[in-house]
């Protein structure tokens, strides 16, 4: 199985010169051997591809990773798209620690997020 747990933390932005480890996402996604998201495997495992969004001073939000066309997004309310948080060209990115991805957050701003860890999903005991 190629399911991985991926942790993203806010990268350097105006107001956060060093980034912010308390603002980010943890999500489960299938990766290919070369570190790209695997859309075929996602179709088989999408019920496992959950996301947790975390921010200081806010309750965690939980949703799912969705593949729409060529794009990827976090979806928090099924059946609605106004709550979705799309990635910028995630289908072209390698998912590996130290690299960055861009997420359009709920306020409409695109922000950089550093990939801080990519670990195999632990099997349930």
Residue spans per domain, the chain? 3-120
Token code pair at residue 2: 């190629």
The pLDDT tens digits of the residues spanning 60-72 come to 999 999 998 878 9
pLDDT at 81: 75
81 compared with 77, residue with greater pLDDT? 77
pTM of the model: 0.90
3-state secondary structure the chain: CCEEEEEEEECCECCECCCEEEEEEEEEEEECCCCCECHHHHHHHHHHCEEEEECCCCCCEEEEEEEECCEEEEECCCCCCCCCEEECCHHHCCCCCCCEEEEECCCCCEEEEEEEEEEECCCCC
Q: Residue for token digits 């990827």?
A: 72
């Amino acid at each position: 199985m190629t399911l991985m747990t991926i942790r993203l933390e806010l990268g350097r932005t105006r107001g956060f010169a060093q980034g912010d480890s308390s603002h980010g996402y943890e999500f489960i996604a299938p990766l290919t051997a070369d570190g790209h998201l695997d859309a075929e495997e996602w179709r088989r495992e999408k019920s496992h591809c959950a996301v947790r969004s975390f921010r200081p001073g806010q309750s965690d939000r939980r949703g799912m990773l969705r593949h729409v066309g060529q794009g990827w997004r976090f979806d928090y309310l099924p059946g609605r798209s106004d709550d979705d948080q799309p990635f910028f060209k995630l289908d072209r990115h390698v998912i590996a620690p130290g690299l960055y991805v861009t997420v359009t957050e709920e306020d409409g701003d695109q922000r950089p997020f550093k990939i801080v860890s990519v670990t195999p999903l632990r099997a349930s005991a």
